[in-house]
């Protein structure tokens, strides 16, 4: 099969013909139909987050089940699925207490005595985040997929696999935004726009979008933003605090920078909660003013929207089909696998919501 392989940090992905194994007892072979090019892929490609190489990147995807292992009962050949990097074992403390997105059990991967899922023992290729969706097929554990209704367009469904679940989930699961609350979202890329959309679904009374790109701020209004702040023109903290008479109940950082994480905290009113969604680079320290904690302000992180993806993703599909989740505007262009490096490079400009690789 064709796949986009990262062999060296900060180098382009190479399109290669590689092999995949056969499904083990609890594994599923998925024919990839669509894969979003996400900022998270870029963080690993440019070395901000280290990962074993060579590896096939890609983790935001949807496809059709091609084959299943002997013990798989959840799906069958022909089912449509969304993948999720939040693979869960189902029996560890995190899973049993409802925090499936925090599961770290290694049993979801093949061990060193088994044939690798990608490549072969002579030349193994690392599977990226249990998925590797920049490839024509994905061989995955059954606990990395969510079955969805067949009339859901798979290019839009792919976005639910990461960006949408991360953004919407951070609002409704991690922060638990309640109706009538005020919200600020810093960064209007795919995840930030999804957080804005999630805040609208949750019933927030005021949703302030913060970015430095006017086109993204315009797009944010389509997703539910009631107000916008161009951080290039004004002090974003002061603007948000003035608009809300002292600060918002909830803020969300969707870029992954020290500066914007600190801004998210400073935008809060007393008792407010800031949630960092963006992937802040390894080694970066975030500084907060200690006395402000006496105002019961909180700073927290969110991993993949604190999801329960087999429950959440089918619900998000329903939201889309009802017109409540705005996935169409998240796709800026559809590309081929051979154009994956163009898709990654486009993320540096800040202009692109999502490029989606189409495999058919």
Average pLDDT on 252-272 reads: 97
* pLDDT of amino acid 352: 60
Q: So where are the chain's domains?
A: 2-148+327-358, 167-303
Q: Where in the sequence numbering do the catalytic residues fall?
A: 38, 40, 43, 59, 162
Average pLDDT on 51-74 reads: 97
pLDDT digits (tens, 9 = 90+) for 131-177: 999 999 999 999 999 999 999 999 999 999 999 999 999 999 999 99
Report whether 221 contacts 228 (CB < 8 A): yes
What are the residues whose beta carbons fall under 8 Å from the beta carbon of 80, sequence distance 6 or more? 62, 63, 64, 65, 147, 148, 149, 150, 152, 154, 157
Computed over every residue of the chain, the mean pLDDT equals: 95
Report whether 49 contacts 78 (CB < 8 A): no
pLDDT digits (tens, 9 = 90+) for 91-107: 999 999 999 999 988 78
* pLDDT of amino acid 113: 86
What CATH class does 2-148+327-358 carry?
alpha beta
**Per-residue pLDDT at 301 exceeds 80:** yes
**Per-residue pLDDT at 230 exceeds 90:** yes
Q: Quick one: pLDDT band at residue 188, thresholds 50, 70, 90?
A: very high
Average pLDDT on 96-120 reads: 89
pTM as predicted = 0.94
* pLDDT of amino acid 53: 95
Residue whose C-alpha is closest to residue 145's, from 57, 37, 198, 67: 67
Q: For the domain bounded by 167-303, which CATH number is listed?
A: 3.40.50.720
pLDDT digits (tens, 9 = 90+) for 264-287: 999 999 999 999 999 998 899 999
Q: Quick one: pLDDT band at residue 348, thresholds 50, 70, 90?
A: confident
* Lookup: tokens for 62: 């949807």
* pLDDT of amino acid 350: 67
Q: What is the DSSP letter of 177?
A: P
* pLDDT of amino acid 153: 98
* pLDDT of amino acid 104: 86
**Per-residue pLDDT at 68 exceeds 70:** yes
* pLDDT of amino acid 35: 98
Average pLDDT on 47-51 reads: 90
C-alpha angle 294-169-141 in degrees, rounded to nearest 5: 125
Q: Quick one: pLDDT band at residue 214, thresholds 50, 70, 90?
A: very high
Q: From the CA atom positions of the chain, what is the Rg in Å?
A: 20
Percent of the chain at pLDDT > 70 equals 99
Count, in order, helices (H) and strands (E) of the chain. Answer: 10, 17
**Per-residue pLDDT at 351 exceeds 70:** no
Phi, psi of 319 (to 5 degrees): -60, -45
Average pLDDT on 230-242 reads: 97
* pLDDT of amino acid 288: 93
CB burial string 215-240: b at 16+ within 10 A, e below: ebbebbeebbbbbbbbbeeeebbebb
Report whether 215 contacts 237 (CB < 8 A): no
Q: Burial level of 301, CB count in 10 A (0-12/13-18/19+)?
A: middle
**Per-residue pLDDT at 201 exceeds 90:** yes
In the chain, what are the helix, strand and coil shares in percent, each to the nearest 5? 35, 25, 40
């Amino acid at each position: 099969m064709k796949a986009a392989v990262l062999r060296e940090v900060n180098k382009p992905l190479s399109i290669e013909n590689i092999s995949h194994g056969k499904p083990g007892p609890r594994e599923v072979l998925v024919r990839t139909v669509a894969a979003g090019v996400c900022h998270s892929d870029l963080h690993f490609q440019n070395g901000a987050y280290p990962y074993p190489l060579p590896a096939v990147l890609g983790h935001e995807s949807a496809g059709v089940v091609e084959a299943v292992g002997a013990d798989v009962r959840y799906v069958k050949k022909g089912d449509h699925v969304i993948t999720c990097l939040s693979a869960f074992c189902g029996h560890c403390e995190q899973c049993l207490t409802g925090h499936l997105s925090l599961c770290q059990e290694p049993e979801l991967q093949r061990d060193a005595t088994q044939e690798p899922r990608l490549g072969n023992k002579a030349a193994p290729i690392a599977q990226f985040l249990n998925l590797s969706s920049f490839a024509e097929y994905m061989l995955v554990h059954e606990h990395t997929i969510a079955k969805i209704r067949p009339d859901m367009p798979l290019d839009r469904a792919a976005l639910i696999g990461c960006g949408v679940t991360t953004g919407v989930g951070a609002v409704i699961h991690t922060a638990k935004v309640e109706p009538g609350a005020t919200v600020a979202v810093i960064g209007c890329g795919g995840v930030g726009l999804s957080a804005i959309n999630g805040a609208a679904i949750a019933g927030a009374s005021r949703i302030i979008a913060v970015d430095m790109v006017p086109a993204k701020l315009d797009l944010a209004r389509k997703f539910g933003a009631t107000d916008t702040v161009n951080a290039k023109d004004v002090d974003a903290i002061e603007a948000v605090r003035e608009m809300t008479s002292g600060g918002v109940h909830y803020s969300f950082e969707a870029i992954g920078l020290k500066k914007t994480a600190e801004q998210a905290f400073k935008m809060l009113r007393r008792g407010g909660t800031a949630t960092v969604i963006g992937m802040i680079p390894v080694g970066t320290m975030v500084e907060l003013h200690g006395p402000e904690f006496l105002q019961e302000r909180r700073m927290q992180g969110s991993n993949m929207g604190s999801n329960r993806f087999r429950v959440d993703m089918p619900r998000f599909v329903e939201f889309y089909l009802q017109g409540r989740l705005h996935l169409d505007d998240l796709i800026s262009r559809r590309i081929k696998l051979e154009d994956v490096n163009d898709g990654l490079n486009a993320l540096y400009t800040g202009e692109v919501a999502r490029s989606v690789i189409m495999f058919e």
